């Protein structure tokens, strides 16, 4: 992406006059393209932290009677988070005490 040095808007590729150029849609700035322009950026994969708290979230979780959809165990740990707008109910996250299967209910 290139930006206009005059008005800071995004430049687009235009070929109105028969040759390729970078052109600004809001001001008369133009920059001719005379060679192939490429750039590669290698993204580094980073470890992503669990946004819901990871294993630490389950350490102090309370338990309740809930049926596990995987093993039919009737006890699970749970905690609640507000992941949607404030006028929506909280989402309850469950983890089975037997098989550690996780699921949620909105």
Token pair for residue 4? 């206009």
DSSP assignment string, 34-60? -S------PPPP-PPPPTT-HHHHHHT
The neighbouring-strand residues paired with 11 are 24
For the annotated binding site, the residues are 4, 7, 24, 27, 68, 71, 96, 99
For the annotated binding site for Zn(2+), the residues are 4, 7, 24, 27, 68, 71, 96, 99
Phi, psi of 34 (to 5 degrees): -105, -15
Catalytic residue among 16, 49, 62, 87: 87
Token pair for residue 31? 């920059």
Is 87 considered catalytic here? yes
- Give catalytic residues, as residue numbers: 87-88
């Amino acid at each position: 992406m290139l930006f206009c040095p005059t008005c800071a808007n995004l430049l687009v590729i235009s070929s109105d006059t028969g040759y390729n150029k970078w052109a600004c849609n809001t001001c008369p700035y133009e920059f001719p393209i005379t060679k192939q322009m490429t750039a590669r950026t290698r993204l580094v994969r980073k470890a992503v932290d669990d946004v819901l708290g990871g294993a630490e979230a389950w350490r102090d979780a309370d338990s309740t009677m809930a049926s596990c959809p995987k093993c039919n165990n009737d006890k699970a740990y749970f905690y609640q988070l507000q992941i949607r707008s404030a006028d929506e109910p909280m989402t309850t996250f469950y983890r089975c005490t037997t098989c550690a299967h996780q699921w949620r209910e909105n």
